[in-house]
A and B are shown apart, each in its own frame.
Chain A
Amino acid sequence: MNNTWLFILQALTVIVVLGLLYRPLGGYMAHVYTTQKNLRVERGFYRLIGVDPASEQTWPVYLRSLLAFSLIGVLLVYLLQRIQEWLPLSLGLPPVEQGLAWNTAISFVTNTNWQSYSPELTMGYTVQIAGLAVQNFASAAVGIAVAIALVRGLSRRKSLTIGNFWVDVTRGILRILLPLSVVAAIILIVAGVIQNFNPFEHITTITGGSAVIPGGPVASQEAIKEIGTNGGGFFNANSAHPFENPWPWTSIFEIILMLAIPFALPRTFGKMVGDNRQGYAILSVMGIFWIASAALLTLLESVGSGTASQLAGAAMEGKETRFGIVGSTLFGTSSTLTSTGAVNAMHDSFTSLGGGLAMLNMMLGEVAPGGVGSGLYGILAVAIVAVFVAGLMVGRTPEYLGKKLGGREIKMASIYILITPTIVLLGTALSFAIPAVEASVTGTSMANPGLHGYSEVLYAFTSAGNNNGSAFAGLTASTPWFDTALGVAMLLGRFLPMVFILALAGSLAAQDKVPVTAGTLPTHRPQFIGLLIGTILIVSALTYLPVLALGPLAEGLK
């Protein structure tokens, strides 16, 4: 069977499963975030932390709670890494060095899961489970909470509040992420993903040589890593490692896990605004991008142009035999179009244009379907801009879901869209513009010479700014410059957009709804789907064309 058929059948499998999940999961999530009822365990939790679940927050208070929660998360993960030598189950590893500990703490709290380190050489089991995995849950729940707050802004009328952050985060973890993770972890264990606290075992092979069998609580971490679109691997090789992803079908399963919530959230949105067609329109845009991008990456890697690929006979460098080309490209597309950043093949060794496409996926703003929550609020921000553009063309006051889009709303959405490109372009430019930094970047960090080395740097800032976390992993990022600059990029790339999304939510919630008239632009028709696709391409992708031309395009079209 050739790659075309393999792609069609494997992609179809993913699409069918996601299609079956869309209504029940999306509807369930809408219920979770709208019901007045609290579970008994939740009531006990609210008493312990001192929160009245019935109280509501204005957007600035919601934001302050979110920032407080995230700051405490950063401090805790930083602390755990710094005291690693005294923690149990630390495999005799020393404390993580300051710069790296700061970078890693931010990385996991911002749902990026960029890893400047090799986990099996750096992080003991306690830091992995009690530090990193906890943030996998927390950061995912925070992302969904912000999306839900924005949807409330669109669905409420004349409301001063947008929900309660503590309730949203607690419900996200307890009712959505945790149950899904338990089920997924059990399936992964049965498949062969390890779950133990054994140290790395040294054995003698049949040839008399020596080998190592790694240990660790991997399945529990792997599950939330995909479901929460986190992506931080238990091992350096991430989802390419056979103990994280042993079979071709577990790879498909992990793809489904990382896409499940982001692709179901449009349903949640549709339910909450009382018009399921709005959800289908957003879903269509996300789906079209995913299918087109996956097909293109599969094509590029199957053709396998480039000197080394041609010499070897196929682009199999950095790919596992069991996944093959198609299993690798489907995973890579899903991972870079969400904010997951997990890899089951090394993107640094993709063909030049294939690696460029992985970058472009992130540069689209991770909205197709994007990270858990961040994908939905990201695409809604672009949708608001799209409605505004359409309004300008026909000369009418733009409205989205009955909300007037005035100067304030458009400013919020526009600033939101500008933040990430600014971070990415500035970070990349500074890496080469500051002489001392440039010496370290080209001398120490870049693994490949020339254009591809530049691509490694561009990829790093694209990944950090968009909170993706995948890498052209040849780059040595554990240098003072990258630890600091990527840390700042992740922090700003996560929380600045959230400020503007919550401000937008607050301003939309305060409005009354205007009635639909003959002049209202319908936002559930194919016409709007096309408009939104165009806006995403023009607003996001074109911003990056020049920097892509300098790296992957120049390398691939040479």
Chain B
Amino acid sequence: MSSVRGTTRQYWVAIRSMIIFTVALGIVYPLVITAIGLLAPSQANGSQLSVGGKVVGSALIGQSFTDKKGNALPEWFQSRPSAAGNGYDAGASSGSNQGTESPTLIKAIKARKAAIAKSDGVDPASIPPDALTASASGLDPDISPAYALEQINRVAGARNLPVADVTKLVNSFITGRELGYIGDPTVNVLELNIALSKLKG
């Protein structure tokens, strides 16, 4: 067999195999997995949360609790800063990608610190790191328990609720480490806020 013919033949084999692989791995495989996913419809469709029969979000995707201008609404627990679009845009997940010596990032952290110290009436030095930094996805559904506890006075004040009731609520939403050592403790902000909206004074 001449090498030219051999090489041409290789390309025919390559084309045919790539077409078959595309059908098997690119179409059949994802469809089969999707069919299996029908057995776990809640997870496969995004772990949606509903209030009064209406979908208000996903338990896994963070949201912002701000007004149209992006100002924090004091009566809701606030999520972390976000670099996804204009903040928590799940159509454009992203981190800030600013390095630790970036003047932009340094300025942003100073501004966030001052804003939270003012709105929450706390010592700037006591604000936890996650409150001052944007997450990797820009869709972090969680905040640290420290940041949730730090916001209690503001939220309770804005809603005229007893601080003790809100504290109890927050404590019941703290999720510890998996198996005691995997991951960090978290509070899911949307789940907490949904429960908060049902809390009567």
Residues of chain A touching chain B, judged by Cβ–Cβ distance below 8 Å, are 1, 5-6, 9-10, 13, 45, 48-51, 61, 64-65, 68-69, 71-73, 76, 118, 120-121, 129-131, 133-134, 137-138, 166, 169-170, 173, 178, 181-182, 185-186, 189-198, 200-201, 203-207, 209, 211-215, 217, 219-221, 235-237, 240-243, 246-249, 251-252, 305-309, 311-325, 327-328, 343-346, 348-352, 355, 447-452, 455, 472-474, 555, 558
Contacts and interface: CB of A to CB of B under 8 A. Distances in A.
A186, A305, A320, A327: most-surrounded residue (chain B CB, <10 A): A320
Nearest to B64: A209
A307 B103 CA distance: 9
A352 B99 contact: yes
Contact of B33 (A65, A138, A189, A315): A189
B100 A5 contact: no
22 contacts: A68-B10, A68-B11, A138-B25, A169-B17, A195-B30, A195-B44, A196-B34, A196-B37, A200-B90, A203-B57, A242-B141, A316-B133, A321-B143, A321-B186, A322-B183, A323-B183, A327-B184, A343-B136, A345-B136, A448-B97, A449-B102, A452-B101
B43 A120 contact: no
Given A195-B37, A200-B90, A321-B144, A306 B100 contact: yes
B181 A220 contact: no
A10 B178 CA distance: 11
A348 B97 contact: yes
A198 B58 CA distance: 14
Interface string B144-157: 10000000000000
A313 B98 contact: no
Given A118-B92, A203-B57, A215-B46, A166 B17 contact: yes
A252 B183 CA distance: 9
A473 B16 CA distance: 37
B194 A69 contact: no
A206 B109 contact: no
A468 B63 CA distance: 32
Contacts of A346: 95-97, 136
Given A1-B177, A308-B106, A314-B129, 16 more contacts: A45-B20, A49-B20, A68-B7, A121-B92, A169-B17, A212-B89, A220-B30, A249-B182, A309-B100, A311-B110, A317-B100, A319-B136, A320-B135, A321-B142, A448-B97, A449-B102
Interface string B56-93: 11111111111010000100100010001000111111
Contacts of A316: 129-130, 132-133
Given A196-B44, A211-B63, A448-B99, A120 B51 contact: no
Interface in B119-136: 127-130, 132-136
B13 interface: yes
B45 interface: yes
B12, B30, B61: most-surrounded residue (chain A CB, <10 A): B30
A320 B133 contact: no
B102 A204 contact: no
Q: Which 10 A-B pairs have the closest CB atoms?
A: A248-B183, A306-B100, A474-B97, A324-B184, A240-B136, A130-B26, A237-B93, A346-B95, A237-B137, A314-B129
Contacts of A449: 102-103
Given A217-B33, A473-B95, A65 B10 contact: yes
A236 B30 contact: no
Given A13-B182, A474-B97, A129 B139 contact: no
A543 B190 CA distance: 49
Given A236-B93, A312-B133, A73 B43 contact: no
Contacts of A351: 100
Given A48-B16, A352-B99, A61 B144 contact: no
A71, A72, A204, A327: most-surrounded residue (chain B CB, <10 A): A72
B100 A190 contact: no
A167 to B, nearest CB: 11
Contacts of A194: 43-46
Given A68-B13, A242-B141, A448-B102, A137 B95 contact: no
Contacts of A65: 10, 13-14
Contact of B97 (A120, A311, A318): A318
B2 interface: no
A168 to B, nearest CB: 12
Interface in B11-43: 11-18, 20-22, 25-27, 29-30, 32-34, 36-37, 40, 43
B61 A248 contact: no
B197 interface: yes
B201 interface: no
B194 A221 contact: no
B160 interface: no
B54 interface: yes
B167 to A, nearest CB: 20
A51, A201, A346: most-surrounded residue (chain B CB, <10 A): A346
A448 B100 CA distance: 10
B100 A189 contact: no
Contacts of B21: 134, 137-138, 173
B142 A196 contact: no
Contacts of A212: 89-91
Nearest to A141: B21
Contact of B58 (A213, A240, A307): A213
Contacts of A474: 96-99
A320 B47 CA distance: 19
Contacts of B91: 120-121, 200, 212, 214
A5 B40 CA distance: 35
A247 B46 contact: no
A414 B143 CA distance: 50
Contacts of B109: 308, 311-312
Given A209-B66, A311-B109, A313-B129, A236 B13 contact: no
A55 B7 CA distance: 16
B159 to A, nearest CB: 13
B98 A447 contact: yes
Contacts of B105: 308, 317, 349
Contacts of B106: 307-308, 311
Contacts of B132: 311-313, 316
Given A65-B10, A237-B93, A211 B88 contact: yes
B128, B130, B178: most-surrounded residue (chain A CB, <10 A): B130
B7, B91, B179: most-surrounded residue (chain A CB, <10 A): B91
A318 B103 contact: no
